[in-house]
Amino acid sequence: MKHAFIDTYADLNTPLHKLNAKTKIIFLAVILLLIIFSPIRYFALFLLYGLVVAALIYLSKVPLRFIFKRVAEIAPFIIIISISALFKKQGYILFLNCTVKAILAIALILIASSTIKFNHLLETLRQFKVPHIFIHLLSFMYRYSFLLENEFLRASRAYQSRNINNKDNFSKLKVLSNILGTLFIRTYERAERVYMAMCSRGYDNEKSS
């Protein structure tokens, strides 16, 4: 099956890709912190942040299609979470604050993951003295995300072969719930088996992966 690797474009030959991974992470982290702590009422400042992000995307030569697709996949969840802010005092300000900052943050994360190979990213985090357990979790999440995607696609195809498209919306929702429930159970059970197998081979989360 075809998978969408987060570092698909990390092998491009651009000045941004050639930049030291430590320097890139520090630079992007500083921009991210500025975005988070800047009040949303300073629209000109956020326009500047947007231009900086756009310039980084241009310098990275990562296709806009790739960036927009990834942002679009996460945007609905951001909007759903941010909608609750509309029911508070000055809710539209809070809504814009959550939505704009989250989208800019996602774009920065995509730039980082598209210009740094994943194994180099993990190694750089080790150099920054990030706790081993966090690095291991990040590594396992990435490695097993492909397995999880395969399980979901396999279950989806099995249900589609039973003419799910001919059913009403309620039935489709019920089928989707069954798929997600089955996927959760399989994921939990597989995680238990993998962990026990690792422990039996002397795994210690204090050691480097």
What per-residue confidence (pLDDT) applies to 124? 87
Per-residue pLDDT at 208: 44
Within this chain, do residues 85 and 137 fall inside the same structural domain, yes or no?
no
Residue 3 has pLDDT above 60, yes or no: no
Which of 126, 159, 181 is the last residue before a domain boundary? 126
* Cα 50 to the center of its chain, rounded Å: 19
pLDDT interval class at 34 (50, 70, 90): very high
Whole-number average pLDDT of the chain: 81
Structurally, the chain folds into a number of domains equal to: 2
96 CB contacts (<8 Å, ≥6 apart)?
40
Does the CA dihedral 66-72-5-126 come out positive or negative? positive
Q: Is residue 6 part of a domain?
A: no
Q: Which of 103, 126, 149 is the last residue of a domain?
A: 126
- DSSP-assigned letters across all residues of 88-113: STTHHHHHHHHHHHHHHHHHHHHHHH
Both 76 and 172 in one domain: the answer is no
pLDDT value of residue 98: 87
Contact 60, 9 (CB under 8 A): yes
CB-count exposure of residue 1 (10 Å: 0-12, 13-18, 19+): exposed
User: Do residues 118 and 36 share a domain?
Assistant: yes
Structural domain boundaries enclosing 141: 131-200
In the predicted structure, residue 54 carries a pLDDT above the cut 90: yes
Residue 1 in this model has a pLDDT that exceeds 60: no
What are 134-171's pLDDT values in tens digits? 888 888 777 777 777 777 777 777 777 766 556 666 67
Query: Do 116 and 144 sit in the same domain of this protein?
Result: no
pLDDT in tens, 168-202: 666 767 777 777 777 778 777 877 887 788 788 88
* Pairwise pLDDT comparison (33 vs 188), residue with the higher score: 33
Predicted confidence band at 82 (pLDDT cuts at 50, 70, 90)? confident
Is residue 167 in some structural domain?
yes
23 located within any domain: yes
Q: Are residues 32 and 104 in the same domain?
A: yes
pLDDT tens digit string along 63-76?
A: 888 888 888 878 87
Of 126, 158, 191, the position where a domain reaches its end is 126
Q: Are residues 34 and 97 in the same domain?
A: yes
Percent of the chain with pLDDT over 70: 86
Residue 208 lies in a domain: no
